[in-house]
Amino acid sequence: MALLFNANLLTTPPNFHSSASLCNFTPSIPLSHFKQLPNYSSLSIRCSTSESQQSESQESNQDAPKKKKRLSEQSSWEAKDSDGNDYLFRLGAEADNMNIAVGARAGVIDDLFAGNFLGKDSDIVFDYRQKVTRSFAYLQGDYYIAPAFLDKVVCHIVKNYISHLLNAKVPLILGIWGGKGQGKSFQTELIFQAMGIEPVIMSAGELESERAGEPGKLIRERYRTASQVVQNQGKMSCLMINDIDAGLGRFGNTQVTVNNQIVVGTLMNLCDNPTRVSVGQDWRQNDITHRIPIIVTGNDFSTMYAPLIRDGRMEKFYWQPTQEDIENIVCRMYEKDGITKDEVATIVNTFPNQALDFYGAMRSRTYDQSILKWVEDTGGAEDIGRRLIRQRKKGELPVFVPPEQTVEALLESGYSLVKEQKLIMDSKLSKEYMKNMDE
């Protein structure tokens, strides 16, 4: 038998020790020349006497299926489901991004990888998602909350959190509507602060997007984020959408977009299934979210889709503060200025039928003269930009002295505001620009 070496057909180096006992080797080149070959892995050996046996063994190896080596017999990563898909395939199908949507959560990621040093339920991006929640550290001082408003909001929130104990249908949404500037959003935030609630707050501007389906998905994500606050922080939470009729209402010939329809459908679905909320992944059997109450504010709910505001889904609350409520709220507003309650009553009676924000605007306008004087002390209007930016960082700006509030100054600013309101209503300059149109 002869050994034939072919440098172009090589796969593995020959095993001379194991082959020597089978046949006598007569190499066609001296063994001393092996060291001069550039790469032993480029050699192949063919034994002429056992060629038929080797070909038979190769054919049998090709016919037999290769058994994939498992990482571990106890690992769940390679476990197959009924469709033959492993864990990673199912995880990728359920989540848009494993790092964002799943994180290192026990029961979702293998416990070996979740570990104990981060906790059994450590979500690696919850710190990022937590930014969409609202804290009320900026609300300093005493504020008045109308009792009727407080009772309605507190009852709705508590009723949703104990809905599983009640033998009654509980609407998921509370719709607070009424005139403009009556403090619907601010009073609700004061109640959140008093109850220790960390809510997720949205605006009507987020209900539209250039991408179809994005606002609906955003609402579901925010709803699930509020659920995460309850689960991970042990705090009460809720979802609040301000001025919802501005985003979903129909005014005249307002165009209906796909996103409007999806948002309405999403809110209706949340009302019907408040604990099963999908953000695009496949449904999981154990993916149960906490029931999160929703509060929406607006001016005119009659412009919205009727099935959304029906009684089974939305509880309506019309907010119109009474004279006593207005006086108490304005009194707290002017309390630091030394304005008495009798003086507040005089101011409110002087300007009847005004919204609550009117009295805040009155106080703000009394600052105008003091601000102009401060600008002059800073260097004038020509130099205010440069000095304001630079000196603010260094803390070298002149001290601003707020004006002393008096009833006369407040009444004067109130009359100027009413004059501006009347001027807008009387002028109607848009008609001057379009005289050729019928009234």
**Cβ neighbours of residue 101 closer than 8 Å, sequence gap 6 or more:** 95, 279, 281
For the segment 300-305, the average pLDDT, to the nearest whole number, is 91
Same structural domain, 337 and 295: no
Give residue 116's pLDDT band: very low, low, confident or very high (50, 70, 90): low
> What confidence score (pLDDT) does residue 94 get?
57
CATH number at residue 206: 3.40.50.300
For the segment 179-185, the average pLDDT, to the nearest whole number, is 91
Q: Which of 21, 22, 25, 5 is nearest to 13 (CA)?
A: 5
Same structural domain, 244 and 329: no
For the segment 27-42, the average pLDDT, to the nearest whole number, is 47
pTM of the model: 0.67
More confidently predicted of 42 and 339: 339
Same structural domain, 312 and 172: yes
Domain boundary among 284, 318, 352: 318
In a domain, 69, yes or no: no
Domain that holds residue 271: 147-318
In a domain, 99, yes or no: no
Same structural domain, 305 and 381: no
Please give the single-letter amino acid code of residue 437: M
Give the tens place of pLDDT for each residue, 353-410: 899 999 999 999 999 988 988 888 877 888 888 777 777 666 677 788 888 889 999 9
Give residue 65's pLDDT band: very low, low, confident or very high (50, 70, 90): low
Same structural domain, 427 and 314: no
Q: Which of 21, 30, 28, 25 is nearest to 6 (CA)?
A: 28
In a domain, 259, yes or no: yes
More confidently predicted of 64 and 311: 311
Same structural domain, 229 and 355: no
> What confidence score (pLDDT) does residue 131 get?
55
CATH number at residue 344: 1.10.8.1070
Residues 155 and 165: their CA atoms lie apart, in Å, by: 15
Same structural domain, 379 and 258: no
Same structural domain, 339 and 253: no
In a domain, 159, yes or no: yes
> What confidence score (pLDDT) does residue 316 get?
95
- State the burial class of residue 93 (Cβ atoms within 10 Å of its Cβ: 0-12, 13-18, 19+): exposed
Q: From the centroid of its chain, how far is CA 331?
A: 37
pLDDT > 70 fraction of the chain, expressed in percent and rounded = 66
Q: Which two tokens stand for residue 408?
A: 């006369």
In a domain, 6, yes or no: no
In a domain, 113, yes or no: no
Give the tens place of pLDDT for each residue, 234-250: 899 999 999 999 989 88
Axis-axis angle for helices 323-333, 356-365 (nearest 10) = 30
Same structural domain, 311 and 389: no
Q: Which string of b and e fits 233-263 if b means at least 16 CB within 10 Å?
A: eeebbbbbbbbbbbbbbeeeeeeeeebbebb
For the segment 247-256, the average pLDDT, to the nearest whole number, is 82
Same structural domain, 310 and 293: yes
Q: What is the mean pLDDT of the chain?
A: 77
Same structural domain, 155 and 274: yes
Give the tens place of pLDDT for each residue, 10-26: 444 444 444 444 444 44
Residues 400 and 372: their CA atoms lie apart, in Å, by: 11
Give the tens place of pLDDT for each residue, 215-224: 999 999 999 9
> What confidence score (pLDDT) does residue 127 get?
44
92 has pLDDT over 80: no
Same structural domain, 307 and 189: yes
Axis-axis angle for helices 184-195, 147-161 (nearest 10) = 60
8 has pLDDT over 80: no
> What confidence score (pLDDT) does residue 107 get?
57
Domain boundary among 267, 301, 318: 318
pLDDT > 90 fraction of the chain, expressed in percent and rounded = 38
In a domain, 137, yes or no: no
Q: How many independent structural domains does the chain possess?
A: 2
In a domain, 82, yes or no: no
Give the tens place of pLDDT for each residue, 135-164: 766 677 778 999 999 999 999 999 999 999
Q: Which string of b and e fits 400-428 if b means at least 16 CB within 10 Å?
A: eeeeebebebbeebbeebeeeeeeeeeee
Angle at 339 between CA 335 and CA 344, to 5 degrees: 100
Domain boundary among 318, 352, 379: 318
For the segment 333-357, the average pLDDT, to the nearest whole number, is 91
